[in-house]
Amino acid sequence: MKNYYNYFMAKPCTFRIQKLKSIAFYIFLFIKTTNIFACTGGTSNGSLSLTSSYQTRSVKNGEYYTFNVTACNTYFFTFCDNGGSASWDTELTLLDDTGTSQLSYSDDACGTQSSITWTASYTGTARILISQYSCNHDQLNSATLAFKLTTKTGSYCITDNASNLTVGGKSCIQLTPEVNDNKGCAWNDTKVNFNNDFSVTMDFYFGNNINGADGSTIVFQPNSPTVCGTTGGELGTGGLANAVVVEFDTYDNDFPTHAVDISPDHIAIDTDGSLLNSTHAAGPIAALASNASIDDGLTHTVEISWTKATNTMSVYFDGNLRLSLSEDFITTKFGGNNLVYWGATASTGGLNNQQYFCPSAPVVLPTQLISFKTECVNHNKVFYWDITHEENIDYYLLEKTTDGQSYQLIDEVESTESSTVKTYSIIDNTSNETTYYRLKMIDKNGNFTSTNLISGAACKNSNENLIDYYSLNNQQLTIKNTGEELSYKLISTTGQLILEKNIGENTKESIAIPSLNEGIYFLQFTNKSGNLTENKRVFHSIN
């Protein structure tokens, strides 16, 4: 509720007298309803045909206009900008087609003028009612109303300040612009089934200002594809009932206490309907093991996986497992619903960042990948993978990349649809350079999932003084040296020395490295003269 003293004192004297006369009535009305100033009634003056560009129309106090609505489309009405204006104190009330149920309301969005942004939860018709403050329809003042709609595109319902965005030719969704006190939500129009295994993968951009705010989320909830929560530290999810929220928080709201928050940009799983200084169901943990900021102007890949057998939700950030929580959400949060909406939210507060994501559909594949590995055979890179329970899998693709962004197809193998363990292999003789590979599995519906990247070493001739093969998987470092004796170091991206050792000539060895986190490491080789001969960037994955 407004601070009425400051509010009225900021108005002209005649305005204060008029409104103070009825303040007692509105205080009483507040006790009866939360929609203090929402108006009804009015006189019909035709209909509006909304398009994707702002249009204007001359309107009068006490008039309402009908318009067609489609679920998930967003509708904008304003006297504040985009050609809208008024010289008197306006109110806007959005009503259903009967004129009785309020859908949205605005009083002083900008000074004494009003503005409404509303995402339809149904398909049909609605009314926009123009009123003078306190629902006074007696004075026939004129004004100019601006209006438009944003049509749902793709498979997401977007609300509030969210908007469609094209990034590098890819269709993405901007959740917030670089504006304070904004929020945006985007809900996929298909539901995920928590009775099955699935994964959701999105590429998130958290902004380019490490002093900005506030962050983004991935949310699962059974309520509606058009809801959105509160702004600021709630990241657009505050007040969403029965929701499971995975937050990617870019602002420290708990300084200096840090009872439930931490300084680094972090990940947490929340189930209590509040993100701001509340106890998390899991976490918080730094999004990056290095504690670096994630609103760094880069795109980060986020994957949420669900394993039904153990009721476990796992959160991967840039391919690294960061957080897990085991809980029967169907029972504890979703009221027995196994099919729930899913999407992304974000918000800004007193600080801001542009925040967007580029979506990919959830994937449910009836297969289990036991292993994916590579080695040199006759100076060619050979890739092996073991699969069990591969019913409904159509084929496999082996792809390679040098930058982790663009991929080249190496070969395709059809599935045998085996119900027992099956081993497949593909040879890559396209180059001798060190590159990175992933295995993509496609089912008969066209859905796919892919492995984390693994490195494929340069398979050189044995008379060359180079490491013939190396890999780092499941806390196991394997090196094959076909040249002279070398020393090597395994170093993290933060410069931490993990391992330092010598390897003899024509030697292959495997070394266990317990408790090594998933992520990127550097493998440096030095010859007997102390000269650095190779510096390899290697991905560590845990299968």
Looking at residue 104, which CATH number applies to its domain? 2.60.120.380
pLDDT at 542: 67
Question: Quick one: average pLDDT of 460-470?
Answer: 59
Q: How confident is the model at residue 458 (pLDDT cuts 50, 70, 90)?
A: low
Q: pLDDT digits over 177-223, tens only?
A: 999 999 999 998 778 889 887 778 789 999 999 999 999 999 999 98
Torsion-angle region of 25 (φ positive above 0: left; ψ -120 to 50: alpha; else: beta)? alpha
Q: Select from 344, 345, 352, 343 the least CA-distant residue to 214.
A: 352
Q: Higher confidence at residue 112 or residue 484?
A: 112
Same domain, 74 and 216: no
DSSP 238-288: BT-TT-EEEEEE-S-TTTTT-SS--SS-EEEEE-SS--TT---SEEEEESS
Confidence check: pLDDT of 155 > 80: no
Report the alpha-carbon distance of residue 108 to residue 92 in Å, rounded: 10
Q: How confident is the model at residue 349 (pLDDT cuts 50, 70, 90)?
A: very high
Q: How confident is the model at residue 306 (pLDDT cuts 50, 70, 90)?
A: confident
Report the alpha-carbon distance of residue 441 to residue 449 in Å, rounded: 6
Same domain, 190 and 263: yes
Helices (H) and strands (E) in the chain, counts: 4, 39
Q: Higher confidence at residue 435 or residue 267?
A: 267
pTM (two decimals):
0.53
User: Mean pLDDT of all residues in the chain?
Assistant: 82
Q: Looking at the domain assignment, is residue 251 inside a domain?
A: yes
Query: What 8-state DSSP symbol labels residue 85?
Result: B
Q: Looking at the domain assignment, is residue 213 inside a domain?
A: yes
Q: Looking at the domain assignment, is residue 521 inside a domain?
A: yes
Same domain, 186 and 243: yes
Confidence check: pLDDT of 403 > 80: no
Confidence check: pLDDT of 49 > 80: yes
Question: Quick one: average pLDDT of 229-238?
Answer: 89
Same domain, 104 and 50: yes
Q: pLDDT digits over 106-140, tens only?
A: 989 999 999 998 888 788 899 999 999 989 998 88
Q: Which of 52-66, 225-239, 470-484 has the highest mean pLDDT?
A: 52-66
Last residue of a domain, one of 456, 480, 508: 456
Question: Quick one: average pLDDT of 241-257?
Answer: 88
Question: What CATH number is associated with residue 497?
Answer: 2.60.40.3080
Q: Looking at the domain assignment, is residue 461 inside a domain?
A: no
What stretch of H or E contains 358?
strand 355-359
Q: How confident is the model at residue 148 (pLDDT cuts 50, 70, 90)?
A: very high
Contacts of 144 by beta carbon, 8 Å cutoff, 6+ apart: 56, 57, 58, 59, 79, 83, 84, 85, 86
Same domain, 25 and 100: no
Q: Looking at the domain assignment, is residue 462 inside a domain?
A: no
Q: How confident is the model at residue 528 (pLDDT cuts 50, 70, 90)?
A: confident
Same domain, 24 and 95: no
Pairing of β 43-47 and β 63-69: parallel
Same domain, 45 and 140: yes
Q: How confident is the model at residue 165 (pLDDT cuts 50, 70, 90)?
A: confident
pLDDT at 447: 67
Confidence check: pLDDT of 277 > 80: no
The angle formed by the CA atoms of residues 470, 471 and 472, to the nearest 5 degrees, is: 140
The count of other CB atoms within 10 Å of the CB of residue 261 is 21
Instruction: Measure the N-to-C terminal CA separation of the chain; round to a whole number of Å.
Output: 54
Q: Looking at the domain assignment, is residue 290 inside a domain?
A: yes
Question: Quick one: average pLDDT of 345-349?
Answer: 95
Confidence check: pLDDT of 292 > 60: yes
Lowest mean pLDDT among 19-28, 319-328, 399-408, 520-529: 19-28
Torsion-angle region of 24 (φ positive above 0: left; ψ -120 to 50: alpha; else: beta)? alpha
Same domain, 135 and 199: no
374: helix, strand or coil: strand
Same domain, 243 and 164: yes
The count of other CB atoms within 10 Å of the CB of residue 389 is 15
pLDDT at 457: 64
Q: How confident is the model at residue 27 (pLDDT cuts 50, 70, 90)?
A: very low
DSSP strands (E only) in 415-503: 422-428, 435-443, 448-450, 454-456, 467-473, 476-481, 486-492, 497-503
| 385 in Cβ contact with 423 (< 8 Å) | yes
Q: Select from 44, 39, 21 the least CA-distant residue to 92.
A: 39
Residue carrying structure tokens 């026939």:
140
Question: Quick one: average pLDDT of 385-403?
Answer: 79
- Starting at the earlier edge strand, list the strands of the sheet with 532-540: 497-503, 486-492, 519-526, 532-540
Percent of the chain, pLDDT > 90?
A: 37
pLDDT at 1: 27
Last residue of a domain, one of 313, 342, 359: 359
What's the number of CA atoms in the CB half-sphere (13 Å) around residue 136?
Answer: 13
Q: Looking at the domain assignment, is residue 85 inside a domain?
A: yes
Please give the structure tokens belonging to residue 495. Answer: 């410069």
Q: How confident is the model at residue 7 (pLDDT cuts 50, 70, 90)?
A: very low
| 518 in Cβ contact with 540 (< 8 Å) | yes
Report the alpha-carbon distance of residue 176 to residue 182 in Å, rounded: 6
Confidence check: pLDDT of 60 > 80: yes
Q: How confident is the model at residue 538 (pLDDT cuts 50, 70, 90)?
A: confident
Question: Quick one: average pLDDT of 383-411?
Answer: 77
pLDDT at 543: 57
What's the number of CA atoms in the CB half-sphere (13 Å) around residue 112?
Answer: 17
Residue carrying structure tokens 């002083």:
108
> What is the number of structural domains in the chain?
5
pLDDT at 338: 93
Query: What 8-state DSSP symbol labels residue 110?
Result: B
Confidence check: pLDDT of 13 > 70: no
The sign of the CA dihedral 190, 194, 200, 205 is: positive
Same domain, 224 and 344: yes
Confidence check: pLDDT of 273 > 60: yes
Same domain, 203 and 343: yes
Contacts of 75 by beta carbon, 8 Å cutoff, 6+ apart: 50, 67, 69, 94, 116, 117, 118, 119, 120, 126, 147, 148, 149
Last residue of a domain, one of 131, 150, 169: 150
Query: What 8-state DSSP symbol labels residue 333?
Result: T
| Domain enclosing residue 528, as ranges | 467-540
Confidence check: pLDDT of 14 > 70: no
Same domain, 417 and 482: no
Q: Looking at the domain assignment, is residue 93 inside a domain?
A: yes
Q: How confident is the model at residue 10 (pLDDT cuts 50, 70, 90)?
A: very low
